[in-house]
């Protein structure tokens, strides 16, 4: 169960799990995906993890425009 962890904390834990030696976790996942595809197994979960790690960390929110009342 994930609980109340922030998404950034989950992302950090996934990156650390896939690349504990400090290498690029996306590159490591690409290698695993290629190896698994050669074996003929499914790579759906690994590809989704790669997409998650490639996505931007935090989206900027649009500022609300405040107009004076007339």
Encode pLDDT of 45-65 as tens digits. Answer: 989 888 988 888 777 777 877
Asked whether the whole model's pTM tops 0.85, one would answer no
Q: Can you give the pLDDT at residue 11?
A: 86
3-state SS, one letter per residue, for 7-68: HHHHHHHHHHHHCCCCCCHHHHHHHHHHHHHHHCCCCHHHHHHHHHHHCCCCCCCCCCCCCC
pLDDT in tens, 18-52: 777 778 888 888 888 999 999 999 989 989 888 98
Distance of alpha carbon 49 from alpha carbon 33, whole angstroms: 11
Q: Can you give the pLDDT at residue 37?
A: 92
Mean of the per-residue pLDDT values of the chain: 83
Distance of alpha carbon 52 from alpha carbon 54, whole angstroms: 5
């Amino acid at each position: 169960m994930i609980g109340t962890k922030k998404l950034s904390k989950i992302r950090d834990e996934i990156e650390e799990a896939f690349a504990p030696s400090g290498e690029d976790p996306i590159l490591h996942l690409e290698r695993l995906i290629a190896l698994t595809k050669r074996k003929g197994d499914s790579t759906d979960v690994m590809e989704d993890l790669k997409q998650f790690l490639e996505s931007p960390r935090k989206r900027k929110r649009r500022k609300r425009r405040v107009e004076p009342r007339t």
